[in-house]
Amino acid sequence: MKDKKIILGITGSIAAYKAAILTRLLTKKGAEVQVVMTPAAKEFITPLTLSTLSRKPVISEFFSARDGSWHSHVELGAWADAMLIAPATAATIGKMANGIADNMLVTTYLSCKAPVFVAPAMDLDMYAHPSTRHQIERLCSYGNHIIEPVEGELASLLNGKGRMEEPDRIVGVLEDFFTSQNLLRKKKILITAGPTYEKIDPVRFIGNYSSGKMGFALAEACARKGAEVHLVAGPVALKTVHSRIRRTDVESADEMYAAATVSFAEADIAILCAAVADYRPETQRTDKLKRETDARLTLPLTRNRDIAAALGATKRKNQLLIGFALETNDGVRHAREKLARKNLDLIVLNSLEDEGAGFRYDTNRVTLIDRKGETTALPLKSKTEIAEQIVAEVITLMNER
């Protein structure tokens, strides 16, 4: 944490008193802390307390009341190594998720180029409400890190989940993040993501429902940890954020095969997350099929080349190959067979039987299976969080090598 520049955002919650402890812990570890408060936060803790602990004037308004000078949220967002919003109320989370920049804190958040950590604090029913859960999932999809609240006695005197995590644990999350930033430094990682489209004619194709969200989350997670990522993406409406991600867009399985096999030759790790079509039409028409021609259509299909099997056959001892399996029944058995058959080091099992998991969702529930046959079932979480856990397992495998 030494010399790290941290923006500490404080919102109007009774947990704001913990921000004083947070500020103290961060500064003792050598961090430079700039506090940004919402107007409501000042009802719970004074700017004087926080400026004394941070040794910096607290920022709350866009303009100084004394001389009219402007606090630049753009410069502040570019200055930071990380932004931490603790406590984060339901109101502020909603504004962040929807870009409602009506105070200095949210405006700074929208300008921040650094990783953002959010520590919610609210009553248990507010935290459990579908609206709040949706906004938190949206923040996760933007790449924010959520520091889950804990169960305990709340301001309402009820007991439940909604109590902000303790300051020392929050600081630990930040420390772990900065430590992990270089865990994949100089590693070259190939990631495939999204579906493939296999043309029937100029307007029709064979495809699937993959959104690419899981693969893109994995690419961002690897890049944050220092890797140089080559993302081979099928036709999806997603954008990359991190500068260490080099993207190649493809459409068909053949195009993905060509890009992946070339990239794998120089890669240290490959994560094959794409939902590649198993079959394509034997012939692709250059003109549009007319429904008036025949009452029935027979479409001969031929098998696409197997990207995972091809990479597994050429994998060197110092390379890691991670695959995905989407199953509808007897998933663990099928995934283990696929892992062995394609010479994978780890396979990530998805099941369409799990509610909230699989295609198109922002959440996922997966099981990790390694070459030793050991399984690790991860609970339903955002795809951003699942990506972090998959990458952590990959790092463990890499270190064992």
Q: So which residues are the catalytic ones?
A: 208
Rounded CA separation 245/268 (Å):
15
Candidates 36, 119, 19; CA nearest to 80 is 36
| 327, 299 contact by CB (below 8 A) | no
Q: In 265-376, where does DSSP find H-type helix?
A: 307-314, 331-341
Nearest partner of 12 among 50, 47, 53, 42, judged by Cα: 42
Query: What's the length of the chain?
Result: 401
With a CB cutoff of 8 Å and minimum separation 6, the contacts of 360 are 209, 211, 213
The span from the CA of 333 to the CA of 338, in Å, is 9
CA dihedral 364, 229, 97, 123 (to 10 degrees): 50
- For residues 153 and 11, what is the distance between their CA atoms, to the nearest angstrom? 20
Catalogue the E-assigned strands of 273-365: 279-281, 301-303, 320-327, 346-351, 363-364
**Contacts of 392 by beta carbon, 8 Å cutoff, 6+ apart:** none
Cβ(44)–Cβ(71) below 8 Å: no
Residue reference for tokens 């493809």: 250
Number of Cβ atoms within 10 Å of the Cβ of 294: 9
Rounded Cα gap, residues 353 and 8, in angstroms: 41
Integer CA distances (angstroms), 236 to 124, 191, 210, 334, 362, in order: 37, 14, 8, 28, 14
| Cβ atoms 388, 382 nearer than 8 A | no
Alpha helices in 324-382 (DSSP H): 331-341
Give me the phi and psi of 275, to 5 degrees please: -95, 85
DSSP annotation of 218: H
Closest among 397, 242, 379, 250 to 321, alpha carbons compared: 397
What DSSP state is assigned to residue 87?
E
